[in-house]
Amino acid sequence: MGIDLGGTKIAAALFNADGEILNRERMETANARTAKEVVQRMVEMIHSVSMEHPVCGVGLASPGTVNSKDGIVLQGTNLPEWNNIPLKKWMGDALGIEVEVVNDANAAAWGEYVRGAGKGSGNMVYITFSTGIGAGIVLDGKLLLGANSFAGELGHNIVVPDGPACICGNNGCWEMYASGTAIRDSALELMLSNPSVIGELAAASGEEISAKHVFEAHRQDDPIAAQVVSRAVHYMALGLANAIHTFNPDRIVIGGGVSKAGDLLFPALKAETEKLVMKPYRGTYEIVPAGLRDDVGLIGAAALFHT
Ligand code: ADP
Ligand code: ZN
């Protein structure tokens, strides 16, 4: 069983040994505010989704900082008042089944490694360029957790010491330069003094300006969009180069909303990364789009129980 606990919804799915989904459910978390209430809902969901099948384990992907060894959510981003919640114990006691808890980016990385675009690689770095940046690392076939299972926070690597303030309290984190939010902010800044079709595209879609409109405008040869994308690609590649030098992966899997830019992103990102890595690393890795979409956290969480 895999569970993906998000800020607004909970998804649960029952998998067979081949990783196929047998049954699934989704629920809004809106009116279950306390951790106890959310746990109660998840326990009910598991009973309902399992349809009396024997379940060998429940893998739970949680946002925020997670102590995976003890299965405790130390601080749940997007989950207000989630501090030191012993999910593994509460869920395990209620269900009588083994429960594992991992951070959602690590779950997604594991999902891509076992069932997605990371399959067949031995050393993989997974990066999701979304509202923020998430990451997870698989080395020698194992999910890298580290001493406190906090490994993989590449989004908060400091890339510009005197850069803008990040929610984490530091300045100039990678996600301030290479996330979807950063792409939007850099477009908004340039649009103050330059005409661009980015705003028109957003208005026509009835949406707020976002990275998506920047890439759409780039497809229409808008010069401001080209400038924003080129800056973003440079910073994305800079972080990938740091990861390549640190982990020596054979594959880098790129997910998240921004990766939907596809051919407007990947060739440029590959070229820029090759420019930034040291010579011996050139040609030693591939950069590929993620293979799994919205279910990646669920799939990765469930796959903690068999590979
Ligand atoms: P979340 O952070 O909520 O998980 P996503 O992974 O979907 O959400 O990432 C959202 C980001 O992806 C936004 O910045 C959005 O503008 C961007 N995005 C969505 N679609 C595209 C697209 N086709 N091309 C480029 N960026 C996109
Ligand atoms: Zn930060």
**Amino acid, res. 297:** G
Q: What does pTM read for this prediction?
A: 0.95
Task: Spell out which residues line ligand 1, taking CB within 6 angstroms.
Answer: 130-131, 180, 210-212, 215, 256-258, 260-261
Task: Report how far ligand 2's centroid is from the alpha carbon of 233 (Å).
Answer: 19
CATH code for the structural domain at 119-290 = 3.30.420.40
β-strand pairing of 72-75 with 65-67: antiparallel
Listed by start position, the domains of the chain span 2-109+295-305, 119-290
CATH code for the structural domain at 2-109+295-305 = 3.30.420.40
Task: Report how far ligand 2's centroid is from the alpha carbon of 57 (Å).
Answer: 33
- Calculate the CA 195 to chain-centre distance: 33
Quote ipTM for the complex. 0.98
Give the whole-angstrom CA distance, residue 55 versus residue 57: 6
| Ranges assigned E (strand) in 140-235 | 142-143
What does the block give as tokens for 294? 């919205």
Give the whole-angstrom CA distance, residue 280 versus residue 241: 12
Give the whole-angstrom CA distance, residue 254 versus residue 301: 18
- Residue 305: predicted pLDDT: 87
- Residue 31: predicted pLDDT: 67
What does the block give as tokens for 113? 């490694």
Phi first, then psi: what are they for 153, rounded to 5°?
-80, 55
What does the block give as tokens for 58? 């429940």
Q: Which atom belonging to ligand 1 lies closest to the Cα atom of 183?
A: 14
Same fold, 2-109+295-305 and 119-290: yes
The answer to whether 305 and 57 are in contact (CB under 8 A) is: yes
**pLDDT averaged per 10 residues, the chain (length 307):** 90 93 90 82 94 92 93 82 91 94 96 97 97 96 95 97 95 98 97 94 96 98 98 98 98 97 98 98 98 94 84
Query: Comparing C-alpha atoms, which of 245, 107, 247, 241 is closest to residue 174?
Result: 241
Mutation to probe ligand 1, out of 131, 205, 218 (largest number of atoms < 8 A from CB): 131
- Residue 32: predicted pLDDT: 67
- Which numbered ligand comes closest to the C-alpha of 177? 2
Cβ neighbors of 72 (< 8 A, separation 6 or more) are: 66, 84, 85, 86, 87, 88, 101
Contacts 24+ apart (CB under 8 A), 240-244: 240/125, 240/127, 240/269, 240/273, 240/276, 240/287, 241/273, 241/276, 241/277, 242/154, 242/157, 242/159, 243/125, 243/127, 243/135, 243/137, 243/154, 244/125, 244/273, 244/277, 244/281, 244/284, 244/285
Scanning the structure block, which residue is given the tokens 């279950």?
Answer: 32
